[in-house]
């Protein structure tokens, strides 16, 4: 088969059945709650202390019927004696080997900001190995940032290639554009990670809160809106409005992607 025929065949394949989301927002904007609107079962690896309370409340109050699983063991991190990243890596490898990511609808890392901090802590820990004084707990130095970028992008490239939907939450910060001098809201990350990380995701969505007489109104920005750098691939060509209701399942449905919870495969009973 020729090179061109191979390309034609690839183009004729059905669209992917999952998407990757980078959810950016300020503290309390509803990032974690939004994760609970994704197709289930949902597996949440929480790096934020107490971060799963919102999702647990949704289940308790019946506002979500989606099955969710929580691992909060990564929340307890001591920068001077870091363990979170290695613990997560070991867990992730074991889950991959067991095929768990084929069984769930959505995998969530909340928050990605703390996840990157865990990577940074591990970098400092390893850089002190064999030396008289460990660097664990110290600030990153100039030579550490390139390692941080390579490490983080390598890990996230693997996560965005999982067979299920993937959500990575992150905090927002204002940064100045070097070309026009304007201030823009981007992901809270160091150096070039602000540029490199969003490129790994299908969706870069920003949660925006607006106070109204009826209370807080939450919307999801899907494209560039003044200072907010958002974009969509699955909702391009006018499929998504510039502002959408904060509902991952609804976005997937609108884009023609699978949006229902995965049905659990029942174990076959042995013949007696």
224 Cβ contact partners less than 8 Å away, ≥ 6 residues apart: 230, 231
The two tokens of residue 32 are 């974690």
Give dist(CA 92, CA 195) in Å, integer.
26
Give dist(CA 239, CA 246) in Å, integer.
15
What is the structure's pLDDT at 217? 83
What is the structure's pLDDT at 7? 67
| Ranges of residues in the chain whose predicted pLDDT is under 70 | 1, 4-16, 128-133, 176-185, 225-228, 265-272
Give dist(CA 266, CA 159) in Å, integer.
27
Give dist(CA 8, CA 28) in Å, integer.
46
What is the structure's pLDDT at 103? 95
Residue with tokens 């998407």: 19
Spatial contact of 71 and 104, defined as CB atoms under 8 Å apart? no
Give dist(CA 48, CA 27) in Å, integer.
11
The whole-model pTM stands at 0.87
The two tokens of residue 161 are 């290639």
The total number of residues written for the chain in this structure: 272
Spatial contact of 23 and 228, defined as CB atoms under 8 Å apart? no
Q: Measuring CA to CA, which residue among 58, 86, 62 is closest to residue 73?
A: 86
**pLDDT tens-digit series, residues 171-183:** 887 776 666 666 6
CATH 3.40.50 holds for 18-254:
yes
What is the structure's pLDDT at 224? 77
Give dist(CA 156, CA 166) in Å, integer.
10
Spatial contact of 6 and 188, defined as CB atoms under 8 Å apart? no
H helices present in the chain, as ranges: 3-11, 31-35, 53-61, 84-98, 100-103, 112-127, 142-159, 193-199, 248-254
What is the structure's pLDDT at 267? 46
Q: Measuring CA to CA, which residue among 148, 230, 227, 224 is closest to residue 193?
A: 148
Give dist(CA 173, CA 184) in Å, integer.
8
Tell me the C-alpha to C-alpha distance, in Å, between residue 67 and each of 43, 85, 104: 9, 26, 10
**pLDDT tens-digit series, residues 61-115:** 888 889 999 999 999 888 888 899 999 999 999 999 999 999 999 999 999 999 9
What is the structure's pLDDT at 154? 96
Give dist(CA 109, CA 45) in Å, integer.
5
């Amino acid at each position: 088969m020729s090179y061109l025929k191979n390309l034609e065949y690839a183009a004729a394949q059905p669209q992917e059945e999952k998407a990757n989301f980078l959810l950016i927002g300020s503290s309390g904007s509803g990032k974690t709650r939004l994760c609970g609107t994704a197709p289930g079962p949902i597996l949440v690896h929480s790096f934020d202390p107490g971060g799963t309370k919102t999702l647990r409340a949704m289940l308790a109050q019946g506002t979500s019927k989606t099955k969710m699983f929580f691992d909060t063991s990564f929340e307890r991190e001591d920068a001077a004696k870091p363990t979170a990243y290695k613990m997560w890596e070991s867990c992730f490898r074991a889950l991959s080997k067991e095929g768990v990511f084929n069984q769930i609808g959505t995998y969530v890392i909340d928050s990605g900001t703390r996840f990157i901090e865990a990577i940074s802590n591990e970098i400092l820990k390893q850089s002190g190995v064999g030396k008289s004084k460990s660097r664990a707990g110290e600030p990153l130095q100039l030579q550490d940032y390139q390692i941080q970028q390579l490490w983080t992008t390598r890990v996230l490239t693997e996560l965005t290639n999982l067979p299920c939907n993937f959500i990575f939450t992150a905090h927002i910060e204002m940064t100045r554009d070097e070309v026009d001098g304007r201030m823009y809201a981007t992901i809270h990350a160091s150096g070039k990670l602000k540029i490199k990380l969003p490129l790994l995701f299908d969706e870069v969505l920003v949660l925006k809160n607006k106070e109204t007489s009826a209370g807080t109104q939450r919307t999801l920005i899907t494209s560039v809106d003044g200072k907010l750098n958002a974009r969509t691939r699955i909702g391009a060509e006018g499929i998504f409005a510039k502002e959408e209701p904060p509902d991952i399942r609804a976005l997937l449905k609108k884009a023609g992607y699978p949006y229902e919870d995965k049905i659990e495969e029942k174990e076959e009973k042995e013949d007696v």
